[in-house]
Amino acid sequence: MINRVVLVGRMTKDAELRKTTAGTSVASFTLAVDNRAKGANGEKTASFIPCTIWNQQAENVVRFVKKGSLVGVEGRLNQRSYQNKDGKNVQVIEVICDSVQFLERKEDGAPNVLDSSESA
């Protein structure tokens, strides 16, 4: 069986870095990816895909990527569920990223094609 995802899109907001109780870094972000299908009035549509990345790569994403940045992600789909504060079951489908590629130049003109798996 194959569970592989490759997406290119823009960050909808800055990634959020957290630490697990064991001290492992984890960052979450949402990627806006254009759809091929147009909306009812012919306008572009997008899907908003939740993504999670771990360890040093998470710290690199938070450090180097901001809202609106074009990135490529590679990873796998993950489905999980939890009970919210109201006791309702919530289903989540997200991309667990193996790598995030920064696809645009920084504003200062320096290249920004760093793979998040590289040390910064």
Which pLDDT score, from 0 to 100, does residue 105 have?
75
For residue range 100-115, list pLDDT tens digits in order. Answer: 999 987 665 444 445 5
pLDDT digits over 81-101, tens only? 999 999 999 999 999 999 999
pLDDT value at residue 109: 47
Distances (CA, A) of 77 to 11, 20, 28, 65: 18, 21, 14, 22
Token pair of 85 as six digits = 């504060």
Contact between 35 and 47 (Cβ < 8 Å): yes
Distance (Å, whole) CA 99 – CA 116: 6
Parts of the chain with a pLDDT under 50: 109-113, 119-120
pTM of the complete model? 0.81
